[in-house]
Amino acid sequence: MKTMNRQKQGGRWALGIMIFCALAGAAEAAFVITRQGRRFEGTDIRVLANGDVVLTMPQGRQTFPRAEVGRAVADKPPDFDRALAAANAGQFEPAIAALRKIISDLRGLEWDNNARMALGQILLTKGDHAEAVKIFEDLMREAPAAKENVEAISLYQEALLRAGQLDKLLLVVDETIQSGPRPAAARAQMRRGDARLAQNQAENAFLDYMRTALLFKDQKDVVPEALFKAASALEALRDQTRAKRLYQEIVNEHASSPFAAEARQKL
């Protein structure tokens, strides 16, 4: 899977959109896999209002009752890649419109959830934070597996933070820490610090960041960021001495992290 990589290029953000389902490779025919494990391929597929799946095959159309379908997947829609290219070119509105159409047209066929993931990221980058929250919540409802997906959980929490929905964020954070995958729990613990900082509770934020660094030492991509944010919280508390110690620790112990370069500027 690809994670969202937002790099500033020419005054705009370049998006590396994450694909939620593992369908981003070569296009393949639409197919249905029954609960008994039989696979049927076709040229077109649709989900009816009652949940039944209609697959068009060379010998004609076949309807699969909802109860018999284990998995139903559409061929990759051409507009998906075009939408991502438009977003990367800063053309957010056409990208958003195309992804919303995919969600509508391919409901229940997996690419609708890919489109939700991409749409949520684009809305988050565009600054439509409340709408991004709604899209990620739609994703969690339509694809329960998203609740175990580290990137999906992290992006949802980022949207909640930016939308200022701090009470809901803290509830989601607590749930993730208690029952989510360990990488997601580490990011959630750090996100709790972000929420506390947004509430002007710098001391509590510092403690949450340090808990992240201490309790999740095995999460190598999280620790340097947690230490950097802890140092920033200390700066907000005007404790420059301890802040510089943490910046120096990042430089010494996490030299390969992108946060090391930022920490050097603080020394």
What average pLDDT does the chain have?
90
pLDDT in the model for residue 29: 82
pTM of the model: 0.85
CA gap 117, 53 in Å, rounded: 23
- Residue with structure tokens 């958003």? 96
Burial degree of 55 (CB within 10 A; 0-12, 13-18, 19+): buried
- Residue with structure tokens 């430089």? 251
H or E stretch covering 162 = helix 150-162
> pLDDT tens for residues 193-211?
999 999 999 999 999 999 9
pLDDT in the model for residue 13: 41
CA gap 80, 221 in Å, rounded: 30
> pLDDT tens for residues 230-259?
999 999 999 999 999 999 999 999 999 999
Tell me how far CA of residue 161 lies from CA of 115, 165, 190, in angstroms. 22, 6, 12
Q: Which domains does the chain have, with CATH numbers?
A: 1-26+78-144 (no CATH), 28-75 (2.30.30)
> pLDDT tens for residues 57-104?
999 999 999 999 999 999 989 999 999 999 989 999 999 999 999 999
CA gap 112, 48 in Å, rounded: 15
Percent helix, strand and coil across the chain, each to the nearest 5 = 60, 15, 30
Give the pLDDT band of residue 20 (cuts 50, 70, 90).
low
CA gap 184, 149 in Å, rounded: 8
CB 146 within 8 A of CB 152: yes
**What would the 3-class secondary structure string for 223-255 be?**
HHHHHHHHHHHHHHCCCHHHHHHHHHHHHHHCC
